[in-house]
Chain A
Amino acid sequence: MKPRAATHLEDERQLDDAWRTFGPAALRFATGLVGPFDAHDIATTAFLRATRQQDWTGIEHFDRYLLRAVRNEAQNLYRQQRRRWERDLAGIRPDVAEERSPDVDLWRAVASLSVQHRSVVFLAYWQDMTEADIADTLGVARSTVHRTLVRARITLRKALK
């Protein structure tokens, strides 16, 4: 049996290793979902909750597990702060009397996606994941990923017209 202090040190080393290994991807994903303002909170909270699970080191595909935790935290934050975000968005809407650039509309369209839609779109078009990989990563059915992408495309195409 290991001394308690040694066990604690080993735990810390495992946490450090996990954070350095999986933290960057979790942070990027969080930034893609909620923007940089809340990304660190999302990623670190997800990491803490994931690593507080008993035997977390035995979780298969911890990278995917952590991304799902990030997605869950983002959904929680979305519920709490939706109103603030709505007001933020309202404040930066382009002048309705002036012609809008496609990118401004596309930004708005990306912002209008739900957390779940944005998760799928981000993994598909920034991470270049296949639908099967996205389904495995987010823990949803492949048909759900496909349907989500179809709906997101409809929304995003509108913005480019």
Chain B
Amino acid sequence: MTQQLDPHLKAIFDEIVSHTPELGPTPTDADDLHANSAGRRSGWLTIAAATIMVAGVGAVALATTRSPVDTPAQAPSVTPSSSASPTTPSTPDAEASEFPEPTLFPVLEAVPDGLSATAIAQSTPGETLWTEALIGRAVDGVLTDTVAITVQDQPFDINPMDGAPATDADVFGGPAMVYEYGSNNGTSVTHVTWGSGPYFLASGAQPLAFLDNATADTFGVTQQSDPTQPPLLTFGQLPDSYAIVAAPRLVGHPSLSASLSIGADNYDISVGTRNPLVTMSLVGPLRSTDVTGQPGWTFMSSLPTQDITWQVNESTFAYLKINDGTSATDAAALADTITFVDWNTWVERYDPAITGGPTAPPTD
């Protein structure tokens, strides 16, 4: 690691470790453990936002190889049975899956001189399934007032930020909880949960304003015949000027994601089955763009990076992130040059590193 990075990284870990909980008594029983930790947790709700960041998002846990005679026990997982267990890396055609996979993978023909392309494919284990969609106002190609809607058959587990308690609200005549999330620089996201099964979550800058203009008929759910599957989200009449920006999709299932990195830190082109627009909407206003004739979205505000997302086919969303200071115009031009091929062609061309458990063969 460079000398430049090293002190920053040490400082961050110093800060993290400074929040290490007290050792406490010797743990002796699992039941006592969870009872005790519940009380302990409430005190940690006051931990600053930065430390919560450390809890982490991001890539799927990499596979690990363990010695059979020296393997710590795994805690029992409460993830659905559909979850893929971490295992030795395997090729994505190891076994079939009932879930959709990305079926097209990115190719960048015109790689700048001196840069190389590195391909990585990750098999993401499944987790609790949910349905998500994005509502917003699109006027003159600008997307604002977005509200991400999620529905699932389990209560949502949301931590109030900075120790501030959730506040009560009324949504469609029933009780709701409101969680305000501030940020270092003023950006805020509010989460509103309501329902008692199925459970709903609305997230955005001002989800209550949207909900105030919606009715109970705005949201609907369709229970699937398979009781292990989550309810599917449907929409009725939306408030004036709101439209469905990202149609409801079932996510959280085991899936494959793949990325092509150009250079050490120049471009990343990734594909997956989850629509990146839902998460992007929580960061800031978006504007439409055109990627080879397909509608795409990018951030309105100037960022150190250029981010563009678009849908490639029914099960494949693409996300281009450019880190090298390329202008928005050039980023759009670059996106136009990205082509897509099937899995076998992509593997033959890039010989990707593959991590995670087995997943389904991508098929057209």
Contacts and interface: CB of A to CB of B under 8 A. Distances in A.
Given A113-B58, A113-B59, A117-B62, A92 B47 contact: no
Interface string B3-26: 011101111111011011101101
Contacts of A36: 16, 19-21, 44, 47, 51
A125 B161 contact: no
Interface in B54-90: 54-62, 64-67, 70-75, 77-79, 83, 86
A156 B41 CA distance: 30
Main DSSP-derived SS at the B contact region? loop
B189 A79 contact: no
B56 A118 contact: yes
Interface string B123-159: 0010110100000000000000000000000000111
A28 interface: yes
Nearest to B13: A126
A129 interface: no
B188 A91 contact: yes
B265 interface: yes
A15 B72 contact: no
B203 interface: yes
A142 B256 CA distance: 26
B18 to A, nearest CB: 9
Interface residues on A, range: 35 or more
Nearest to B47: A36
Nearest to A139: B66
Contact of B265 (A15, A69, A157): A157
Interface string A68-89: 1100110110111111111111
Contacts of B12: 103, 106-107, 110
Nearest to A83: B127
Nearest to A106: B8
B115 interface: no
Contacts of B185: 94-95, 98, 100
B33 interface: yes
A86 to B, nearest CB: 5
A59 B29 CA distance: 21
A20 B23 CA distance: 8
B238 interface: no
Contact of A156 (B1, B55, B65, B127): B1
A61 B52 CA distance: 31
A110 B65 CA distance: 23
A30 to B, nearest CB: 8
B52 A32 contact: no
Contacts of B37: 40-41, 44
Interface stretch (B92-100, B169-177, B226-234, B295-303): B295-303
A21 to B, nearest CB: 11
A34 interface: yes
Contacts of A125: 1, 6, 9-10, 13
Interface string A32-69: 11111111110011111110110000011000011011
A10 B170 CA distance: 57
Nearest to A48: B27
A59 B70 CA distance: 8
A147 to B, nearest CB: 8
B49 interface: yes
A81 B74 CA distance: 16
Interface of B: 1-2, 4-6, 8-14, 16-17, 19-21, 23-24, 26-30, 33-34, 37, 40-41, 44-45, 47, 49-62, 64-67, 70-75, 77-79, 83, 86, 125, 127-128, 130, 157-159, 161, 181-189, 191, 203, 252, 261, 264-265, 279, 282-284, 299, 301-304, 323
Given A139-B65, A153-B5, 5 more contacts: A87-B189, A93-B282, A112-B56, A117-B62, A148-B62
